[in-house]
Amino acid sequence: MPSPDDQFDKLKSRANIKKEAEKETEYKTLFLNLIKSNRDIFTAKHDNPQEYEAETKVLKKVLEVERDALIGATAIGVLAFFTVRFLPRVAVRYLGGESKAKAMEAAEAKQSLLKSAGGLLFEGTVGFWSAYRGYQLAVDIRSDDVYDEIVSLPLCEGRSIVSDTICDEWHRLIHHEVSPDFWKNMDEKNDGAKELRNQEFFQAVLDFDEACRKRRAFEDVIRLRENKRYDEPVSIPSSGVPHQILELAKEEVDAIVR
């Protein structure tokens, strides 16, 4: 039978795990801000573009998904606005004839400025909401096409500007800015674990970090083999990080990475 101290520790741990789950949005923002703050670097031209060719292709695909989603969302928003704004008039004109349409226009003309502004605000809100939902839907539809490629970006052949720029800070955020109790929510076997609203996002965060570490491990192997400095840039051979590295356990990777 567990001692009172053990029971207390268990209850405390469960409470901490649940408490950390409430910080989900805050933690998500940490990683998104890191990406946003380096966006210009990711899309900038390189001195040796051929070294970054494999990664550049994936980045272009990701940006195309975002661009297409924004264009589609804008079109949906504009369509929704004009539908809410003008469809009732068209329907009245079609069903009731010209006289009823003119009567409706006359009634609208008598409305106060405040009511007119309120109606316009409502219509604009509908348009904005439709655009927002359209953007989310467009991204969700194509997310499976790019998810694996985004997560595996650090594993590509050649050089990786993404790896060079954010991998170290990404790893620091996971282990020093986000509480270990938060990550326990990722495993439903942990007592007190709560399924996160953005479970897939945070799984991608962990998968991306793992890819970063495995790239770094292989880079260190290359540096050792070629007698290079620990901070000297290296290029991953064709086909990317090999299976021998990909199959390593986390502890084995950590032992290699300096």
How does pLDDT run across 40-95, given as a tens digit for each residue? 888 788 788 888 898 888 888 776 765 554 544 455 444 544 454 444 454 444 44
Domains of the chain, by residue range, sit at: 22-46+159-258
Residues in the chain where the model's pLDDT stays below 50:
69, 71-73, 76-78, 80-82, 84-88, 90-95, 101, 104, 111-144
How far apart (Å, rounded) are the C-alpha atoms in residues 171 and 147? 19
Q: What is the per-residue pLDDT for 213? A: 96
Which pLDDT score is estimated for 147? Answer: 63
pLDDT at 133: 45
45 by Cβ neighbours in 10 Å (0-12 / 13-18 / 19+) ranks as: exposed
**164 within 8 A of 216, measured Cβ to Cβ:** no
**Structure confidence at residue 6 (pLDDT):** 61
- Is pTM, for the whole model, over 0.85? no
DSSP string for residues in 160-184: -HHHHHHHHHHHHIIIIIS-HHHHG
Residue 169: its pLDDT value, please? Answer: 96
- CA neighbor of 77 nearest in space, from 123, 110, 108, 43: 123
